[in-house]
Structure 1
Amino acid sequence: MFPSILIADDEPSILQSLGGLLTDEGFEVLTADNGYEALKIIDAEAPDLVILDIWMPGIDGIETLKEIKKAHPVLPVIIITGHGNVETAVKATKLGAFDLIEKPLNIDKIIVAINNALNFRRLEEENRYLRKKIIERHSINGNSKPVQALKMQIATVAPTDSWVLIKGENGTGKELVARTLHQLSPRAESPMVNVNCAAVPESLIESELFGHEKGAVPGSSARKRGKFELANTGTIFLDEIGDMNLSTQAKLLRILDEKKYQRVGGGRELTSDVRVIAATNKDLELEINNGNFREDLYYRLNVVPIDVPPLRDRTDDIPILVETFLAEAAASNREKQKTIADDAMDIFKKYTWPGNVRELKNLIERLVIMVQHDTITRKDLPANLLETKHTGSALFSIDSFDQARIAFEAEYVRKKLAAHDADIEKTADAIGVKPAYIQSLLDGKAE
């Protein structure tokens, strides 16, 4: 199917000659001799491109261009004029014209402009399609009430430029929420740059965020652009913000307040135009009370708080998530998609998932690889999903108070460990005990 082009010009000779030439070039040509007629044809025929004369009776080309862009913002428009001047060109370009060509018309120039405009439109359509697929791939799966509320929050805040603080346990999908906010924002065409504040060494975090000049950091042989510079006009995602040291928090607060910073070892002041999204699995208000987090930084980041629910609070979503992860695993391994038997799904729904969605995803991937048959059943599940824990009413069946306390503490520690990726020291720091005590509970030697 050949691209269709609408020529809108009040000169019959232009309509006839240009229309004939473009028809010979293989285009489907539509014509209009005024702006009103052009707008009717665009609505009825949906051409791929418009060639529009500036000077026409009724509404002129500029007014017609405004109406076109209002109703069809992605439709490319090439302006032609016999009275071209700088002011007209600038005005047409600001209104969204792809190009401006002066009369007398040069067919070669017109063909080049048409091909460039059509190629540009095709690239825009591909980008929109890819963005749609990215949003779908990173969509938050589930229809439970907590997830519906979360989606509503995201849809409300994403189109704004407000800063967001995402709170939730490890594995709940905080980064997924951040990516969705970015993809649905006006900054989606610009980069989203991630900074894992817990993974960057304290001595390097300043260089990581703000960059450094050559030789300013030991071992550096070249200038480095920082994350804020890389994210300019886009979004910066500060993951695990609660693990950032106080010194760097002070520097971060300055850039957030003033939107200006300097590279390490540099004297030139750089400006920052970024949307800030931060995430944490810590209770930052508790961290403030303990002197580990700046109160002013907390209130600067916490413009719009979003709480991501743990999986145990959205068990209605487990079947949808399981189906999604089974499909992903099958596509990744180029194998037939496995199914989950009802008895296994029942266990999934009853389990508390201390590692949240990440734990479920990892388990499904492991089961897909390790289970040889097409249907995963209860007997294929790992022991930790099947074993009875000392939780709820089971604790009250223990006669000894000390034994009940130890049973509760052991279960509590196991869940906290899962939420902190089995890191004993990090878990100990988070719950306020010594690592040796956690180890004693795990070894069954606590007293």
Structure 2
Amino acid sequence: MRSEKKCSMIASHVTEIILESISDGVFTVDHAWRVTSFNRGAERITGIPRDRALGKHCWEVFRSNMCERDCALRRTMAQGRSFVDTATYIVDYQKRRIPVVVCTALLKDEVGRVLGGVETFRDMSQVEELRKELEGRYHVGDMVSRSPSMAEIFGILPQVAGSGSTVLIQGETGTGKELLARAIHNLGPRRKKPFVAVNCGALPDTLLESELFGYRAGAFTDAVKDKPGRFALAEGGTILLDEIGDLSAAFQARLLRVLQERTFMPLGGTRSVKADVRVIAATNKDLAAEVDAGRFRQDLFYRINVVRLNLPPLRERKEDIPMLAECFVDRMKRLRGSAITGISREAVSRLMFYNYPGNIRELENIIEHACVICPSGQIEIRCLPEHLRTGSSPVMDRGGDIHAALESAETRLILEVLERNRFNRAAVARELRVHKSTLYRKIRRLGIALPTSDGRRGVKSPK
């Protein structure tokens, strides 16, 4: 009996040494949710000394977002099962949010009696910073893309934004022209001033004139007081003239004069007003072709066509579909608090078969539909609209370009990770969480060219 007790004490001591040696934070709670142990890793991650944590309720120590609604440890205690790799954040002693991944289990004694719960948590700050750094290459404002055509636009956007020049954005409906205009404004020197958008195709000339330039009291029957127009509201900032290709010939002449002289006359006014605004124009039409057809003034076209940015349709940048879909899922989760965990690979593949006549806006509506039909768990094919589930739509792409798009995205990802790790294949395999032999097969299958040695000195590349 004494021997068994001694062995138990030795085992307990060894366990304590191990817990103090690991980098992950580990703590335990009793049935009253009071912290009963708190290892050195937990002290390091939270910045809270052990003596201040012991005896307190766990939510007083960690102040996690899970404490408020969906505690993994509480679910473990209630359901009697473990939860692994649940992402959340904690708030440290300096009130900084620290992203962590937690694992939970029941805490039992030698005879299997439940004493409380145990939770381990790992600091994911460095991983999160790396993720943000990588995403920064593909994010500009609210726009996200990995495609080469969009990369060219993202590359010149800082210069365009800083120039102050008039910009013409051309692209099909739903490609994100207003988002690009906002990104230009937010990157430029006028970012602290207003950004005002006007849909020029939604109003007749008379209403559009008062909308853009405002009016003075008495200009017409119901004008009982002055009303500033959009140009006045955008003073010092940026005005977006959306769907400028739908303007009538008469209004095109009026707008040309405003852009040339940078002044405008409110309806019923007697004096011109100076317009200190940056102008960005957007259209879903090919304005050069409209000029050739005589439907758009050539002089106005030259006035707004200082810097032209052409947004490609989504069908020409299908490698962006997975990233865009994830962004829309995250947005739905934030707006609605839904329990969607992601999109299945099968559903993503089905999304990539579609040609999206409505472009990014249509993809966003598809994801919103899926989140309504499947409010929790993974989005599967059954959650998608009927024409995507059955493949009956005339714009479903039956060709093999989905495979080309997937291979293009996979090639680009592997190349980026290779370059970041100086072509050290072992490091790349670890980052991508695949076996080295799997990585080598992918490299050969995708035809990725490699240097003669990898990132370690004197190590030859595999043939």
TM over 0.5: yes
Aligned match of 1:387 in 388, 391, 398? 391
Alignment of 1:310-321 (within 5 A): 310-321=313-324
Match of 2:127 in 1: none
Which has the higher mean CA deviation after the structures are superposed, 339-348 or 368-377? 368-377
Contact persistence 2:369–2:385 (CA under 8 A): no
Match of 1:168 in 2: 171
Matched, 1:322 2:345: no
- 1:387 partner letter: G
Hey, what's the Cα distance between the residues in 2 that align with 1:373 and 1:234? Answer: 42
Matched, 1:358 2:380: no
Alignment of 1:191-230 (within 5 A): 191-230=194-233
Alignment of 1:27-426 (within 5 A): 138-385=141-388, 386-388=390-392
- 1:359 partner letter: E
Number of equivalences: 262
- 1:145 partner letter: P
Hey, what's the Cα distance between the residues in 2 that align with 1:226 and 1:217? Answer: 15
Structure 1 residues 334 and 202: CA distance shift in structure 2, 3 A: same
Query: Sequence identity, in percent?
Result: 42
TM-score, normalised on structure 1? 0.56
Match of 1:101 in 2: none
Structure 1 residues 372 and 269: CA distance shift in structure 2, 3 A: closer
Q: Which runs of 5+ in 2 are unaligned?
A: 1-135, 400-463
Hey, what's the Cα distance between the residues in 2 that align with 1:141 and 1:147? Answer: 9
Structure 1 residues 391 and 161: CA distance shift in structure 2, 3 A: closer
Deviations 1:334-366 (A, max 9, x none): 122332111111011121011111101111112
Hey, what's the Cα distance between the residues in 1 that align with 2:221 and 2:177? Answer: 34
Hey, what's the Cα distance between the residues in 1 that align with 2:142 and 2:282? Answer: 18
Q: Secondary structure, in 3 states, of the residue corresponding to 1:251?
A: helix
Structure 1 residues 287 and 272: CA distance shift in structure 2, 3 A: same
Q: CA deviation at 1:372?
A: 4.4
Moved over 3 A (4+): 135-138, 388-395
Q: Secondary structure, in 3 states, of the residue corresponding to 2:198?
A: strand
Match of 2:60 in 1: none
Q: CA deviation at 1:155?
A: 2.1
Match of 1:445 in 2: none
Contact persistence 1:171–1:359 (CA under 8 A): yes
Contact persistence 2:354–2:397 (CA under 8 A): no
Hey, what's the Cα distance between the residues in 2 that align with 1:194 and 1:337? Answer: 33
Hey, what's the Cα distance between the residues in 2 that align with 1:136 and 1:342? Answer: 23
- 1:229 partner letter: A
Hey, what's the Cα distance between the residues in 1 that align with 2:242 and 2:383? Answer: 35
Hey, what's the Cα distance between the residues in 2 that align with 1:393 and 1:349? Answer: 8
Structure 1 residues 279 and 218: CA distance shift in structure 2, 3 A: farther
Match of 1:122 in 2: none
Structure 1 residues 312 and 215: CA distance shift in structure 2, 3 A: same
Hey, what's the Cα distance between the residues in 2 that align with 1:230 and 1:392? Answer: 44
Match of 1:26 in 2: none
Hey, what's the Cα distance between the residues in 2 that align with 1:344 and 1:256? Answer: 48
Structure 1 residues 203 and 318: CA distance shift in structure 2, 3 A: same
Q: Which runs of 5+ in 1 are unaligned?
A: 1-132, 396-447
Q: Secondary structure, in 3 states, of the residue corresponding to 2:320?
A: helix
Contact persistence 2:166–2:304 (CA under 8 A): yes
TM-score, normalised on structure 2? 0.54
- 1:248 partner letter: F
Q: CA deviation at 1:288?
A: 2.1
Contact persistence 2:353–2:397 (CA under 8 A): no
Deviations 1:212-234 (A, max 9, x none): 11121342221111111111211
Structure 1 residues 207 and 154: CA distance shift in structure 2, 3 A: same
Q: CA deviation at 1:379?
A: 2.4
Q: CA deviation at 1:211?
A: 1.1
Q: Secondary structure, in 3 states, of the residue corresponding to 1:264?
A: coil
Q: Secondary structure, in 3 states, of the residue corresponding to 2:144?
A: coil
- 2:231 partner letter: F
Hey, what's the Cα distance between the residues in 2 that align with 1:233 and 1:391? Answer: 44
Hey, what's the Cα distance between the residues in 2 that align with 1:392 and 1:350? Answer: 6
Contact persistence 2:355–2:395 (CA under 8 A): no
Hey, what's the Cα distance between the residues in 2 that align with 1:391 and 1:142? Answer: 22
Structure 1 residues 304 and 379: CA distance shift in structure 2, 3 A: same
Q: Secondary structure, in 3 states, of the residue corresponding to 2:196?
A: strand
- 1:237 partner letter: L
Q: Secondary structure, in 3 states, of the residue corresponding to 1:146?
A: helix
Q: CA deviation at 1:286?
A: 2.4
Hey, what's the Cα distance between the residues in 1 that align with 2:162 and 2:397? Answer: 47
Contact persistence 1:260–1:272 (CA under 8 A): yes
Hey, what's the Cα distance between the residues in 2 that align with 1:158 and 1:287? Answer: 27
Q: CA deviation at 1:167?
A: 0.3
Deviations 1:108-155 (A, max 9, x none): xxxxxxxxxxxxxxxxxxxxxxxxx9x979431122212211211322
Hey, what's the Cα distance between the residues in 2 that align with 1:228 and 1:279? Answer: 16
Hey, what's the Cα distance between the residues in 2 that align with 1:216 and 1:354? Answer: 44
Contact persistence 1:338–1:368 (CA under 8 A): no
Q: CA deviation at 1:256?
A: 0.6
Hey, what's the Cα distance between the residues in 2 that align with 1:373 and 1:233? Answer: 45
Q: Secondary structure, in 3 states, of the residue corresponding to 1:200?
A: coil
Q: Secondary structure, in 3 states, of the residue corresponding to 2:340?
A: coil
Q: Secondary structure, in 3 states, of the residue corresponding to 1:279?
A: strand
- 2:146 partner letter: N
